[in-house]
């Protein structure tokens, strides 16, 4: 699975998690007639937006992916496992936290509100990482792929030869 696809999937899934947890917060707070939870949640979500945008600066995105790209070993063949399996293996903690926060949020709306804020931070902070990796791939003429590994270990990548971009000197 290309590393850029995994990054894109991570952003979409965490954004969906934030949306779902936000909806659960609103429904649970309305059911319990606790308007103050919605007000506190809205403030937390605005703070989360600010933190997420701050963490998504392009320079920070390049710094965040630098170590993983530098550790990538060179290979002439791709890891032989399906992209869906690699994505599930790497992203199951996101699904787990979404379900746990959603279930708890039905009874305690504050849990869903806090979870939505953290998912918002992650989604916004990671949305520029794909562009950073694409920039390195275009510059170096390589492609990075995810090696199947456990989600709680640092990500392992392989670097495969790609086609060098002829547009590097073009303006």
156-168 in b/e burial notation, b at 16+ Cβ within 10 A? ebbbbeeeeeeee
Confidence (pLDDT) at 171: 44
pLDDT in tens, 61-103: 888 898 989 999 998 777 677 888 888 989 999 999 999 999 9
Task: Locate 142 and state its tokens.
Answer: 């390589």
Report how far residue 98's alpha carbon sits from residue 108's, in angstroms, rounded to the nearest whole number.
14
* Residue 68 exposed, middle or buried by CB count within 10 Å (0-12, 13-18, 19+): middle
Map tokens 């308007």 to a residue. 35
DSSP summary character for residue 160: E
Number of helices (H), then strands (E), in the chain: 6, 3
Q: For the chain, what percent of residues have pLDDT higher than 90?
A: 57
Three-state secondary structure call for residue 82: coil
Q: Exposed e or buried b for every residue in 11-45, given b needs 16+ CB within 10 A? A: bebbbebbebbbebbbebbeeeeeeebbebbeebb
pTM of the model: 0.85
C-alpha separations of 31 from 34, 39, 144 in Å: 8, 15, 47
| Residue 31: per-residue pLDDT | 85
40 vs 150, which has greater pLDDT? Answer: 40
Q: Is the pLDDT of residue 44 over 90?
A: yes
Query: Residue 47 above 90 pLDDT?
Result: yes
pLDDT score, position 19: 96
Q: Kindly provide the residue ranges of all beta strands, DSSP E only, lying in 96-152, ordered along the sequence.
A: 142-146
Task: List pLDDT tens digits, range 114-148.
Answer: 999 999 999 999 999 999 999 888 888 899 999 88
- The pLDDT confidence band at residue 165, using thresholds 50, 70 and 90, is low
Evaluate if residue 161 carries a pLDDT over 50: yes
Tokens at residue 2, please?
């290309």
What is the predicted pLDDT for the residue at 128? 92
DSSP-assigned letter for residue 163: P
Q: Distance (Å, rounded) from C-alpha 118 to C-alpha 111?
A: 11
DSSP E strands, 1-115 = 73-74
% of residues, the chain, pLDDT over 70: 94
């Amino acid at each position: 699975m290309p590393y850029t696809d995994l990054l894109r999937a991570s952003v979409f899934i965490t954004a969906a998690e934030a949306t779902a947890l936000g909806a659960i917060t609103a429904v649970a707070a309305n059911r319990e007639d606790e308007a103050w939870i919605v007000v506190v949640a809205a403030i937390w979500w605005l703070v989360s937006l600010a933190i997420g945008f701050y963490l998504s600066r392009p320079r920070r995105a390049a710094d965040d992916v630098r170590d993983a790209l530098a550790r990538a070993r060179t290979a002439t063949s791709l890891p032989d496992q399906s992209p869906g399996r690699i994505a599930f293996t790497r992203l199951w903690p996101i699904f787990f936290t979404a379900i746990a926060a959603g279930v708890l949020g039905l009874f305690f709306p504050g849990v869903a509100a806090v979870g939505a804020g953290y998912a918002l931070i992650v989604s916004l902070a990671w949305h520029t990482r794909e562009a950073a990796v694409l920039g390195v791939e275009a510059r170096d003429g390589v492609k990075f792929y995810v090696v199947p590994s456990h989600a709680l270990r640092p990500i392992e990548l392989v670097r495969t030869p790609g086609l060098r971009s002829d547009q590097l000197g073009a303006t």
